A and B are shown apart, each in its own frame.
Chain A
């Protein structure tokens, strides 16, 4: 029995460096959120040990700082790749400067968020412009977290990397404020992650274009009739 589905065009959207960045970044964010929350709200572990016999809180902090360095370098790597990668990875996607991006923005809000329009032609098999804007905010939040986090680490760090960010402490009038905003900004990452994972699942569920698996294999599949000519 021969069955024929709609014919699909296969796009190689996410190159290996983009996929690597995505998963390294995701892992860092999860680790940083968990350890960061614990640093702000250490659990009360009752034990009768002497201080020199334990180091669990120090270990939590170590993981936080180590993940922070990986997070920093992953972002540097991704920014460099934004000038080297394919059209879906390029930096121009993430700055909403063209009218075309804002037209797409309106379409996506209408189709995906308020669901007022049923189907659509896709603008690009890569990120849509709403997603791109959310990644711009993620990037800016990451810059803030990196600057504030390393600014706080600097007095106890012997490496020049952390010293690059000491300017933020006087700018924000002391460690207390830096710490406070660093902690509050953690919740941006929590909420971003929730929405991001949900939206990916939503696209996969509704559009059948392989959105989730594209971040593993790099491939997306779009029905020919959905392609904007």
Chain B
């Protein structure tokens, strides 16, 4: 396998027709927000560019990102992009094990130094020199640094690699750290979510494989095509929000009518993701459509922003459900009491001054 095949070569081997191939290119192009005129260059790239080698690392994670990816609504994603993406190393799916697997990883890292794409699922524990996550006798921290040094680009899958997710929540005992805080000076694309939407993952990867560069990113390093808008701003229940029609409790009439879930803690207004557009499971549904608010799984710190069923977090995080308004009202109450005391005192202490002024004024007495 000296000559790296192109996508089109691989698809022909797998028995896909030209028609299937073009349909796939059009579909993934549309899903990634490419304009129609770019589909031609996508097709051309898939026909001519050798597929770059890919290393997919698993650290502190639950593999839901991989699970999501293999459930993409387009079969070619799983069949070609994942299966034959030239995944030279991935703990979950590779046939090799133990020394063989490590050997495959080293081989790719040496042979394709500066060319391979590094996919990272999971966060990196940095407490106690990283002993909380070791693979093949090396800490995740060492592996990441070593692999990143020779990577052409890094894709950080999921909330773990983006922000630490569950294990990064307070008090974060293992000091779970996102990739972007460890690796500097390499192009990193963050694809947050728990897990990310499979089409979003496929779109990001195909964009890189086809064009050789990362898609356009926002200030947080997320592909703009998928993360530039809030779930709330693309939600099909949004008209209910603007009309002031809210679900008050999960079992009320309003819930049955499909009103906005804002008052039962939907985090759609603070969550950037494509759930309301791309949806899940072959575009069947997404959390809000199923009647439950968004929990903000693609946002940094979402597990610390408790309580989950309030749209604003509590003042002291998960330890207290005291909300901002309670604090504000108590402060306003104390202020009112202080002003009252001041007013009473003023009448006593300043009486002489006020009386003198009244007496001195014309017609005062």
Contact = CB atoms under 8 A, between A and B. Distances in A.
B269 A57 contact: no
Contacts of A184: 315, 324, 327-328
Interface in B96-122: none
B328 A208 contact: no
Interface residues of A, number: 53
Contacts of A115: 345-346, 349-350
30 contacts: A42-B244, A44-B246, A44-B263, A51-B239, A51-B240, A52-B239, A54-B243, A54-B244, A56-B243, A56-B244, A58-B243, A60-B244, A115-B345, A115-B346, A118-B349, A118-B353, A155-B230, A155-B272, A174-B300, A175-B270, A175-B271, A176-B302, A179-B312, A180-B305, A187-B324, A187-B331, A187-B332, A191-B332, A194-B339, A206-B353
Given A42-B262, A183-B324, A208-B357, A177 B244 contact: no
Interface residues of B, number: 56
B190 to A, nearest CB: 12
Interface of B: 219-220, 228-230, 233, 239-246, 248, 259, 262-263, 267, 269-272, 296, 299-302, 305, 312-313, 315, 324-325, 327-329, 331-332, 335-336, 339, 342-343, 345-346, 349-350, 352-354, 357, 360-363
Contact of B270 (A44, A167, A179, A191): A179
Interface in A139-193: 155-156, 166-167, 169-170, 173-177, 179-180, 183-184, 186-187, 190-191
Interface stretch (A3-11, A21-29, A73-81): A3-11
A6 B356 CA distance: 11
A11 B252 CA distance: 63
A55 interface: yes
A173 B360 CA distance: 62
Contacts of B220: 170
A5 B243 contact: no
A53 B243 CA distance: 7
B339 to A, nearest CB: 5
A179 B323 CA distance: 13
Nearest to A206: B350
A155 B361 contact: no
A202 B353 CA distance: 13
A86 B339 CA distance: 32
A195 interface: yes
A176 B313 contact: yes
Interface of A: 3-6, 37, 40-45, 47, 49, 51-58, 60-61, 113, 115, 118-119, 155-156, 166-167, 169-170, 173-177, 179-180, 183-184, 186-187, 190-191, 194-195, 198, 202, 205-206, 208
B313 A190 contact: no
Contacts of B241: 57-58
- Identify which of A61, A176, A179 gathers the most chain B CB atoms within 10 Å of its CB: A176
A194 B353 contact: no
A41 B248 CA distance: 11
Contact of A206 (B262, B328, B339, B346): B346
